[in-house]
Amino acid sequence: MKTIQYIFGIALLGLFTMTSCSSDDNTIVIDTTPDFSGTFAQQDQMGRPAVNTVFVGSASKDAFNTTIPSQQNAAFQSMFQTNLTALSPAYANPGDQNALGLDAATFTGLLATDVLNVSLDGTTTFYDGTNVLTGRALADDVITVELLLIFGGEDFTENPNLSDDHVDANDKPFLSSFPYLASPW
């Protein structure tokens, strides 16, 4: 008798569960539209690699990130020039240029507006020996390019100890197809 009551109890419970399930399906409307409301304020900004890290003083890094690109040159170019000359004193010499033919003022004038220039008409690379600042590809050795432009002088031969970090490629091969980045470690 006890067993029968037990079985009956389970059956009742099962019936109740089923009923409430189907009742839920009929009555609860699930809102599937996500909420996209609100205002979002700028916290980080990046165009070219390593710009904020190398050229902006530590007290100004947050300010640089929260300045729109069209106002960055006016606000930060002189700081960039001071920091570039401190890193690579040859730039202080009159007429000193890098291999792009840019002196301290024009080089930092280019970099202070932190946007990445991208060509829609062909090769996209930070620098490949021929094309300059037409994009940034995954395999581009952007740090060595920047070190060469900072330390390498007019023909990339100055300060060889400083103008190449000798890490020339990623630690995993990239994919030829979307999403291009290698799977995580």
The interface with another protein within residues 141-170 (CB under 8 A) comprises 141-143, 160-162, 164-170
Among 62, 78, 89, 92, binds another protein (CB under 8 A): 62
Rounded to the nearest whole angstrom, what is the least distance from the CB of residue 98 to another protein in the complex?
A: 18
Is residue 53 a contact partner of residue 45, using CB atoms and an 8 Å limit? no
Q: Which of 54, 153, 46 is nearest to 100 (CA)?
A: 153
Under the binding rule (CB under 8 A), the answer on residue 120 touching another protein is yes
Rounded to the nearest whole angstrom, what is the least distance from the CB of residue 111 to another protein in the complex?
A: 13
User: How distant, in Å, are the alpha carbons of 78, 96, 97, 145, 176 from that of 100?
Assistant: 20, 11, 8, 11, 31
- What residues from 71 to 110 belong to the interface with another protein (CB under 8 A)? none
Q: Which residues are CB-neighbours of 61 under 8 A, at least 6 positions away?
A: 52
Is residue 96 a contact partner of residue 150, using CB atoms and an 8 Å limit? no
Q: Which one of the spans 10-18, 22-30, 92-100, 118-126 is the region binding another protein (CB under 8 A)?
A: 118-126
Under the binding rule (CB under 8 A), the answer on residue 45 touching another protein is yes
Among 3, 5, 39, 130, binds another protein (CB under 8 A): 39
Under the binding rule (CB under 8 A), the answer on residue 185 touching another protein is yes
Decide whether 15 or 87 has the Cβ nearer to another protein.
87
What the block records as the tokens of 160 is: 């060889």
Under the binding rule (CB under 8 A), the answer on residue 130 touching another protein is no
- Report the DSSP beta bridge partners of residue 127: 132
Rounded to the nearest whole angstrom, what is the least distance from the CB of residue 130 to another protein in the complex?
A: 15
3-state secondary structure of 70: helix
Query: What backbone torsions phi and psi does residue 168 show, to the nearest 5 degrees?
Result: -105, -5
Decide whether 16 or 180 has the Cβ nearer to another protein.
180
Under the binding rule (CB under 8 A), the answer on residue 29 touching another protein is no
CA distance 13 to 85: 80
CA distance 67 to 54: 17
Q: Which one of the spans 5-13, 21-29, 40-48, 88-96 is the region binding another protein (CB under 8 A)?
A: 40-48
